Copies of this chain bind each other. A is one copy, B any other.
Amino acid sequence: MPVLENPSLEEVSKAIIDAVKKRETVLMVARCIVEYAGRSFSRLGEGDRILILKPDGSLIIHREKGYSPVNYQPEGSIVNVKVENGKLFLRSIRRRPEEIMDIYMSKVYVFFSKKLDDRALFEMWGNEEDIKRAIILEPSLLGEKFKVVKDERKMGNRGYADLLLVDENGTYVIVEIKKGTAGIDAVEQLLKYVDYYQKAIGRSVRGMLVAPNISKNALQKLEASGLEYVKIDPRKVWTILKAQKGILSFL
């Protein structure tokens, strides 16, 4: 895990070769020029940048601004390095499709390499299933005291309602969940279920669309149809699921 401050280019060249051998991740801040030939050709004039070279061959270059790298090579690229004409020359070659990135470093401010120990899972949630799980765990998320009657209630041959609830007055509530912005389709789907279920049980039921957002025309149609919209806050869903999972408390 060497940290080199203002190293000579020869030192850096050796350190890179060493790190690649040991399958360490390399981090540098360097003054450099970058040239790329592949899907297009580009040249980035001299400036201070961050360079990341990973053991899988991927190479990422960041400038001072923005979250996107200015240049990158994907995993599987091969790296060569040498000192020539007073510059540290690094070439990354991707074979197929062929892409070449050349970096000419005139100054390295800092060099760091380390084998990163990272075996953690990346877990993503926030789909309809997650929102439903949060509602089942905590129905008050919908703003009233509900009881969950059924998860995935079949609505004849019209499909499945995401949730069937009952409110404090004993009225059934059919819930349709969307993870993003609910549109007209979602309203029509819910309406179909409500119509079916009212006929099936012979009394009036509530229809509730649950989503982080709703489009303007979907909201108009929903209100005109006597249905309800509950805006759900993704962070609340997150908090409930996190609490359930026993992971770190959200500050």
List chain A positions with a Cβ less than 8 A from chain B: 1, 3, 5, 25, 27, 29, 31, 33, 35, 37-50, 52, 54-56, 58-60, 62-67, 69-70, 72-75, 84, 89, 91, 100, 102, 104, 109-110, 112, 114, 116-127, 130, 234-235, 237-238, 241-242, 247-248, 250-251
Complex contacts, A27 vs chain B, CB 8 Å: 27, 29, 50, 110
A212 CB, min distance to chain B CBs, angstroms: 9
B48 close to A59 (CB less than 8 A): no
30 pairs of residues in contact across A and B, judged by CB atoms under 8 Å? A3-B110, A25-B50, A27-B29, A29-B112, A31-B117, A37-B234, A40-B234, A41-B124, A41-B234, A42-B123, A42-B124, A42-B125, A43-B122, A43-B123, A43-B247, A44-B122, A46-B120, A49-B118, A54-B65, A55-B64, A55-B65, A56-B64, A58-B65, A58-B66, A67-B73, A70-B122, A91-B251, A104-B248, A109-B114, A110-B112
